[in-house]
Amino acid sequence: MQSSNLQRIRAVTAFVKAIRVERTGGPDVLHLADIEKPTPKAGEALVKITAIGINYIDIYIRTGMYPSPLPYTPGGEGAGVIEEVGENDFDLKIGDRVAYMGSGSGSYAEYNCVAVDKLVSIPHDLDNRIACAAMLQGVTAQYLSHSTYPIQRGDTVVVHAAAGGVGNLLVQLAKARGATVVATASTPEKRSLAVAAGADAATDYDGFVEKVKELTGGEGAACVYDSVGMTTFDDSLRALAPRGYMVLYGAASGAVPPISPQALAAAGSLFLTRPTAVHFTRTRAELLARAHDIFEHIAKKSLDVRVGATYPLADAARAHTDLAARATTGKLILLP
C-alpha cells in the first residue's frame, strides 16, 4: 500500500521549466531544465511568471563575484499572476497581477514562490512587461535620485551608462527634479537615446569631465551616478565639485580598487557611497512607496520605461552575453 501511494504521488508531480546553474562561470552554465513545480510556504505566494527581469547582479552571482549556494535558479525580479498562497495575511489574493524585486532567486522559471512582502500590485492599465521592467531599475533610479543623493533644482549631475535600464530612467527622474544632466554612453546611438530621455549633454566616457567643467564654470558636478565602476571611477571623482557625492551603484567594467579616505579629502571633501536596493526598501511600506511613485510617473507619462529586448527563457545565456557586452539599451526581459 505504501509503495502504491508513493507511485501515485510521483505520477501527479508537476514539472515546470527553469534555468538552472550548477557551477559558476560564463553564460554557458545557464541551462534549461525541468524542475518540480514549487509549493508556497507560509508567508509566500506562488506566482505564474509572465515576465522576468534580467539584471547585472544576475551576472555577478553567476560568475561567483557574489557567492550563492549551488545549484540554483537565477533571478530576483519578475511579474505575473498569483496562483496559490501559503498561510498568509496580506492584501493580495489569487488572480492578482503582481511584480516583485529582491526575491533572491528563482525567477528564471515558469513559476516562482515569492515572499508576500516583496509583491507589489500592478495597476490595471499597466502591462506586465513594463511593470517588471520598472521594478528593480525603476526603484533603483527612484532611491538614487530621491534618497541616496536627493537631487535639488539647479544641480548638475552626471549619469553614466545613460542608455541602460537604470541610467535612462535616472536621466528622466533627474530632469523631473530640475537638474542639468550630463550623460555618458559608449556609442552615438546610445548618446542619442540619452538626449531623447532629457539629458542636457551626452558624451563618451573620455570627455565627460571636460563637459561637466564647461557647464559648471569649472565648479564640477553635485553628484555622479556611476554604475560602470573601475574604468570611470577616477574621472568621476575629478568631475565632482567640492563636497560632491560619488554614488557608485554598479561595476559593469569591474570592481573599484580600495581607496584611501585621504584621497576623498584631497579631491574636495567628497562623499562616497555604495548603495544597494535592499537598504532602500527595508520595509514593505518603503518598497510600496517607491514602486508606486514609479508607477504613477508611468501613468502620467512623465517616465518612459524602455524594454530594450525580450528573449525566450531558453535563451538566457544569450541575454547575459548581450548585457555583459553592453550591446543593449533599456531593460532586458525573459519570457517563459
Mean pLDDT computed over 253-268: 94
Give me the pLDDT at residue 7, please. 44
Q: List pLDDT tens digits, range 179-192.
A: 999 999 999 999 99
Query: Pseudo-torsion of CA 135, 140, 141, 144, nearest 10°?
Result: 160
Give me the pLDDT at residue 1, please. 41
Mean pLDDT computed over 221-228: 97
What pLDDT band is residue 214 in, cutting at 50, 70 and 90? very high
- What one-character-per-residue DSSP string does 252-271 give? TT-PPPP--HHHHHHTTS-E
Instruction: Please indicate whether residue 327 or residue 257 has the higher confidence score (pLDDT).
Output: 257
| Contact between 244 and 212 (Cβ < 8 Å) | no
Q: List pLDDT tens digits, range 89-114.
A: 778 899 999 999 988 899 999 999 99
Any idea what the CATH number is for the domain that residue 315 is in?
3.90.180.10
- What one-character-per-residue DSSP string does 68-115 give? --SSB---S-EEEEEEEE-S--SS--TT-EEEE----S--SBSEEEEE
Any idea what the CATH number is for the domain that residue 238 is in?
3.40.50.720
Give me the pLDDT at residue 43, please. 92
In a domain, 329, yes or no: yes
Q: What percent of the chain has pLDDT over 90?
A: 86
- Domain span at 328: 2-134+306-335
Say yes or no: 163 and 254 in one domain. Answer: yes
Statement: residue 195 has pLDDT above 60: yes
CA dihedral for 289, 290, 295, 296, sign (positive or negative): positive
CA 269 to chain centre: 30
Give me the pLDDT at residue 88, please. 74
Statement: residue 265 has pLDDT above 60: yes
Q: H or E segment at 331?
A: strand 331-335
In a domain, 294, yes or no: no
Closest C-alpha to 235, from 200, 194, 273, 267: 267
In a domain, 327, yes or no: yes
Pairing of strands 44-54, 307-312: unpaired
| Contact between 229 and 253 (Cβ < 8 Å) | yes
Statement: residue 245 has pLDDT above 60: yes
Number of independent structural domains in the chain: 2
| Contact between 62 and 29 (Cβ < 8 Å) | yes
Of 239, 260, 278, the last residue of a domain is: 278
Closest C-alpha to 15, from 37, 32, 31: 37
In a domain, 283, yes or no: no
Of 278, 294, 314, the last residue of a domain is: 278
* Least confident stretch, 113-122, 204-213, 249-258, 309-318: 249-258
Statement: residue 12 has pLDDT above 90: no
Say yes or no: 274 and 314 in one domain. Answer: no
Q: List pLDDT tens digits, range 272-307.
A: 999 999 999 999 999 999 999 999 999 999 999 989
Mean pLDDT computed over 265-271: 97
| Contact between 194 and 185 (Cβ < 8 Å) | yes
Statement: residue 3 has pLDDT above 80: no
Mean pLDDT estimate for the chain: 93
| Contact between 226 and 246 (Cβ < 8 Å) | yes
Say yes or no: 190 and 252 in one domain. Answer: yes
Statement: residue 6 has pLDDT above 80: no
| pTM of the complete model | 0.89
| Contact between 108 and 19 (Cβ < 8 Å) | yes
Q: List pLDDT tens digits, range 115-145.
A: 999 999 999 999 999 999 999 999 999 999 9
Statement: residue 56 has pLDDT above 90: no
Give me the pLDDT at residue 327, please. 76
